[in-house]
């Protein structure tokens, strides 16, 4: 997997049909997504429960692009190996999930996955200043994690700018997650994000039997970003 800063759309399967994850993954890829974002929640670190490594392993053969696993779980260390074994390409942990982030990130890479670190809205950029050489991705939460369909927190835009400056020339992706729509995407890309997670904004209006809206929704986000960077609005 080579590194680039082109805009990538990563639909969150949190908004997919939970009875049909394999088909949903195939459908969003056929409709043009770049990565597949998998939200793991434990009912402890966040107030919602989704699924674990067995589900990740089960859907892995249905994903041809990148399986991007976002772990909203604490403690996290004892589960890293299982998620890496399940085929996560990127494995993202929360900076707030434990006391030894540096050790946790080393464990992710040692398990064979690319290492991501996520920041809750209230966590400052400086929380990861001294682990930059251990990571491949920064996930900026633009909602409080736990649920899809929440409103984008505008105060995160300057935080993305600060993280982008902090990253400099390092090959570290900056990912944004929560409330990403055609209206909010241009500002986060202008601030320096290159991976856009979107749940409700991608899955709305479609289904595995009617996947065309997924493609239209993905295109709407891409077009809004392209139009804004070309200096026009949509």
Q: Which residues are catalytic?
A: 39, 177
CB of 112 to Zn ion, least distance (A): 21
Residue with Cβ nearer ligand DX5 (70 or 114) = 70
Is residue 14 within the footprint of ligand DX5 (CB under 6 A)? yes
Question: What is the rounded radius of gyration, in angstroms, for the C-alpha atoms of the chain?
Answer: 16
**DSSP secondary-structure letter at 185?**
H
* Binder of ligand DX5 out of 145, 182, 192, 206 (CB under 6 A): 145
Output the smallest distance, CB 15 to Zn ion, in A: 11
Among 53, 125, 178, 182, binds ligand DX5 (CB under 6 A): 178
| Distance separating alpha carbons of residues 133 and 136, to the nearest angstrom | 8
Strands laid side by side in the 67-72 sheet: 8-11, 195-198, 173-177, 137-141, 114-119, 90-94, 67-72, 36-41
Q: How far apart are CA 187 and CA 175, in angstroms?
A: 13
CA distance 234 to 232: 7
Alpha-helical regions (H) of the chain = 21-30, 53-59, 80-85, 101-110, 156-167, 185-191, 200-203, 212-229
**Smallest distance, Å, CB 230 to Zn ion?**
29
User: Is the CB of 145 or the CB of 192 nearer to ligand DX5?
Assistant: 145
Residue among 76, 198, 218, 220 that touches ligand DX5 (CB under 6 A): 198
CA–chain centroid gap for 142, Å, is: 11
- Closest of 219, 214, 222 to residue 27, by C-alpha: 214
Among 24, 29, 34, 39, binds Zn ion (CB under 5 A): 39
Q: What is the C-alpha to C-alpha distance for residues 179 and 193, in angstroms, rounded to an integer?
A: 14
Establish if 136 lies at the interface with Zn ion (CB under 5 A).
no
Q: CB count, 10 Å around CB of 86?
A: 21
Find the shortest distance in angstroms from Cβ 118 to Zn ion: 8
Closest approach of ligand DX5 to the CB of residue 192, in Å: 19
Residues 212-231 that bind ligand DX5 (CB under 6 A): none
Do the Cβ atoms of 130 and 92 come closer than 8 Å? no
Q: Residue from 8, 70, 94, 164 that binds ligand DX5 (CB under 6 A)?
A: 70
Among 106, 123, 150, 219, binds ligand DX5 (CB under 6 A): 150
Each residue 99-128 as x (binds ligand DX5 by CB under 6 A) or -, in order, gives: ------------------------------
By CB under 6 A, name the binding residues for ligand DX5: 12, 14-15, 37, 39, 70, 143, 145-146, 148-150, 177-180, 197-201
């Amino acid at each position: 997997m080579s590194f680039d800063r082109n805009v990538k759309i990563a639909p969150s399967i949190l908004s997919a049909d939970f009875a049909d994850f394999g088909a949903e993954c195939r459908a969003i890829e056929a409709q043009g997504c770049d990565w597949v974002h998998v939200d793991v929640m434990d009912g402890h670190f966040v107030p919602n429960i989704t699924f674990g490594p067995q589900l990740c392993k089960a859907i892995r053969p249905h994903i041809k692009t990148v399986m991007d696993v976002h772990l909203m779980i604490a403690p996290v260390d004892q589960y890293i190996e299982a998620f890496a074994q399940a085929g996560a390409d990127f494995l993202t942990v929360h900076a707030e999930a434990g006391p030894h982030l540096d050790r946790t990130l080393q464990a992710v890479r040692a398990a064979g996955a690319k290492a991501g670190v996520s920041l809750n809205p209230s966590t400052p950029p400086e929380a990861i200043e001294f682990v930059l050489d251990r990571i491949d991705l920064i996930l900026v939460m633009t909602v409080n994690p736990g649920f899809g369909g929440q409103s984008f927190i505008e105060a995160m835009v300057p935080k993305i700018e600060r993280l982008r400056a902090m990253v400099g020339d390092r090959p570290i992706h900056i990912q944004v997650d929560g409330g990403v729509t055609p209206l909010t995407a241009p500002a986060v890309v202008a601030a320096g994000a290159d991976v856009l997670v979107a749940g409700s904004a991608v899955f709305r209006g479609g289904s595995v039997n009617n996947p065309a809206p997924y493609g239209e929704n993905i295109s709407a986000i891409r077009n809004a970003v392209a139009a804004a960077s070309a200096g026009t609005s949509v």
